[in-house]
Every structure is written in C-alpha cells, then in structure tokens.
Structure 1
Amino acid sequence: MHRRTALSVSAVLLAAAPLLSACSSDPRPGTAAVVGGQRITTSALQAQVNDVRGAQDRSEQSAPAAGTARLERMKLNKMIQLRILEETAKDAGITVSTREIEDVRKETTQQSGGAAKMEQLALAQRLPVAPDQIDEDIRFQLLLGKIKEKFGDDAFVPALTKAAGALHIEVSPRYGGWDAKQIALGEAQTPWITQRTRPEQPPAGA
C-alpha cells in the first residue's frame, strides 16, 4: 500500500532525458520561482523557513539546523515539486482528499507515540517539517504515491517530466538553477528521490 512504501526512484530519475527547459534568469523582484505562470514569492518561501526555525528554537530535541541558504533551497525545491505533482495529478485525474490526509496523520500520530512525538520526528527529518507544515507534507507524499501507483515505474518519471515541462519553471539565480535530469532544484538535495509517508526515525541513540 502506498502509505507504507518507500518510493525509491533515483535510478529512473538519473536515466530520464533532460526534457525540461531549465531557466535560471531572475523572474522578477520578490520572486523565488515562477511555475506555470504563478509566482512563488520570496516572502512565502521565507515564511516556510521561519516556521521551521521557530519550531526548532522551541524544540530541545530537534536535529542540528541547516544553514539558512541551504534550508531556503530545500524548501523552494519542495514547493516547486509540489506544483509538479499537482499538475501531473490533475492531468491524470488523481485527487487527495482532506479525509485521506487526516487518516494518514491519525495513523502516523498513533505509530509515533502521540502528536508531540510525531511533530518532533517531522522536525528531525533531513528536510525539516514544522508542525503546521505536516498536512501539506502528507498531501505531497500521497500525491507522489498515487502518481507512481497509477503510472508504474516505467512511465512515472516521464509523466512528471511532461508536467514540469508544461509548467515552464523559472528560478531566481539566488537559489540555483532547475536541474532537468533530477527534476529538482540544483544543489537543493531534498528527499525527493526517496519519500515516506511518516516522519523518518532518528538514528539509534539520538
């Protein structure tokens, strides 16, 4: 079932042809990226980063904080990839309901040992997720799981590539350039390759 299955597609992504038009020209002032003609503003990006920083400051057990520039790239990468998933899902008639998100959150909370523990684990991931970002993260992973389930291993990446190409992604050079081969922001290094629907477990003894 896609809720419990880690989606490892690195080999497929690395083999994918670079069909996207990568653009690193500065789209416009105050804009981190333009995806499908819609802006991802620097203020929206900074709000996501600030949410994580605030949660880390309040948590005594959060993972060591990534540098601000790196965290900005990681968060922007995830925001762009969510737009790609949404476009792919729309074309394929795939939806994720609020009830599905609530069910996964409830299951994850129970398996984590409570809401506080679940939030702590989410914040300790390689790409930290603040408490108020958890529902969006679950939606991201459910979309990814459903798309992979519908298209299968052979057609999964081409479907994402097609959707991303149609979105004409532009990224401010402040955050790097769009990597067509990886379907990701260059140097962002977020866990797009391997996704899980529950927070990653911390290393033993952490």
Structure 2
Amino acid sequence: MHRRRRTALLLAAGLAAAAPVLTACGSDAHPGAAAVVGGQRISQAQLQSRVDEVRTAQRSLVRDDAQYAQAISRTGSLTRDTLHTMVLERVVERAAKDAGITVTRREVQRMRSGLEQQTGGAKALEATWLQQYGVPPQRLDDNLRLQLEAQKLAAKLHTDTRAPAFWKALSKASRELHVDLNPRYGTWDVQKSSRADAKIPWVREVTAAQQPA
C-alpha cells in the first residue's frame, strides 16, 4: 500500500519556559478572566478545567506516586502553557477562517491514523501527545485539527510554517482578535503570536504517514 509523507504543524502545550507569576488577579478591563480573545473571555474556570484534564490524564497514565510527582515537576508551567495553547487555538482558527480554510473530520482521522501507525497504536499516540506535548486524549483530535488548519494556511500562502509569510498571517489574526492576557500569565506578543515570555518556539515539525485521499 502506497503512503505519502505529510509534515504536520505541532501546536504543543508545555513548550513555553516558566516565568514569574505576578500578583494581579485580573486585568483592569477584564477582571476574573485568564484572557480575552476576540471579545470573548477565557475564564479562570475554563483554564483550570483544561489544566485538570492534563493532570487527570497524567495520573491515569502514571500510577506510581513518585513518577507522578516527576511528571508534575516537568510541567510546572502547565497553567501558563495551557493558556498559551488556548489563545493560539483561536488565533490559528481566525487566520484559517480569514483564508477560507476548512478542515473535515475525515482529514483529522486520516492524520490520526497515520500518527497511530507511527507510534504503535491509539493508546501509544495518546500517551506520546500527553507526555511530550501536554495534550490529553480528549483534546487530541482538536489538536490535530489545528495542525491541519495551520498546514493548509501555509500551503495556501505557498510557504511553510517557518516562513515569514505564515507568521505574518498569524500576526494579523492576533491583531484582529485584540488578545488581552491576565497580567499573571504575561503578555501576548502580536508579532510572534506567542506569550511574550515564551522562550522556546511552539512550532515543532512532525511527519505523519498518511493514506492517499
């Protein structure tokens, strides 16, 4: 059976470096919100729920208390990284929408199947995405959909996800959405479409073996 190789943009949580937590509990304009993106609040409760999803998945994967404590220590900036991902999801979706890009469920499943073949099955893929990128199993399809949106955006721009044209499109979407982070989580760099204190790029290139459409 013939396969083609496709490069996927990995929007991974857990890549941003830790930064000092400020004492503010909310911005003056949006008290109680973790962030406001496109006029819509990401509440502290929503953020905490997403963080809890990761912690619950880590606990189910690692039963040993010492190993679980080690997993937590490796993801000490999980809350900030999770918010970064939640904002970035909306930025990429806006950029894709502006470009008239859509992603079907079939395309997501095709990518997932290719990655499952590479990692050794569905459970192995879920464990890999959780351990390496902080994506819990219930968010895996959403993460792959976002990757495909970014991949299609780059293709439409006749470039790749490392090129200035791609980042310019994300910058434009960030500007349109007027991203406003709670000060305790830092600030949003419109030009980089990233938290300003993120030291490590959120882009990773992974190759998925895919079946021809």
Post-superposition Cα deviations, 1:6-43, rounded to whole Å, max 9, x if no partner, equal: 659xxxxxxxxxxxxxxx94442331111111111111
Change (3 A) 1:41 1:6: same
Give the 5 Å matches for 1:31-46.
Answer: 31-46=33-48
Q: Which has the higher strand share?
A: 2
How many angstroms apart in 1 are the aligned matches of 2:9 and 2:136? 22
Q: 1:34 to 1:128 in 2, by over 3 A?
A: same
1:176 matched to 2:182: no
Aligned-pair identity in percent equals 43
Which residue number corresponds to residue 123 of structure 2? 116
Helix, strand or coil: the match of 2:35? strand
Counterpart for residue 18 of structure 2? none
Larger radius of gyration: 2
Letter matched to residue 139 of structure 1: R
Q: Name the counterpart of 2:97.
A: 90
The answer for the alignment partner of 1:13 in structure 2 is none
2:112 pairs with 1:105:
yes
**Preserved contact between residue 2 and residue 145 of structure 1 (Cα < 8 Å):** no
Question: Which residue in 2 is equivalent to 1:138?
Answer: 144
| Runs of at least 5 residues in structure 1 that lack an aligned partner in the other structure | 9-23, 199-206
- Give the equivalent residue in structure 1 for 2:195: 185
- Could you tell me how far apart the structure 2 residues matched to 1:189 and 1:64 are? 21
1:166 corresponds to 2:176: yes
Distance in structure 2 (CA, Å) of the matches to 1:154 and 1:191: 14
Deviates more, 1:149-158 or 1:66-75: 66-75
Cα deviations across residues 146-195 of structure 1 (Å, max 9, x unaligned)? 11111123421111111110111101011111123422012345652324
Contact 1:27 1:172 in 2 (8 A): no
What is the distance in 1 between the residues matched to 2:198 and 2:51?
14
1:1-12 alignment runs, 5 A limit: 4-5=6-7
Number of residue pairs aligned between Structure 1 and Structure 2: 182
Query: How many angstroms apart in 1 are the aligned matches of 2:83 and 2:207?
Result: 20
Aligned equivalents of 1:76 and 1:197: distance in 2? 26
TM-score, normalization by structure 2: 0.75
Corresponding residue for residue 201 of structure 1: none
SS of alignment partner, residue 32 of structure 1? strand
Letter in 1 for 2:194: A
Contact kept in structure 2, 1:27 and 1:171, CA below 8 Å: no
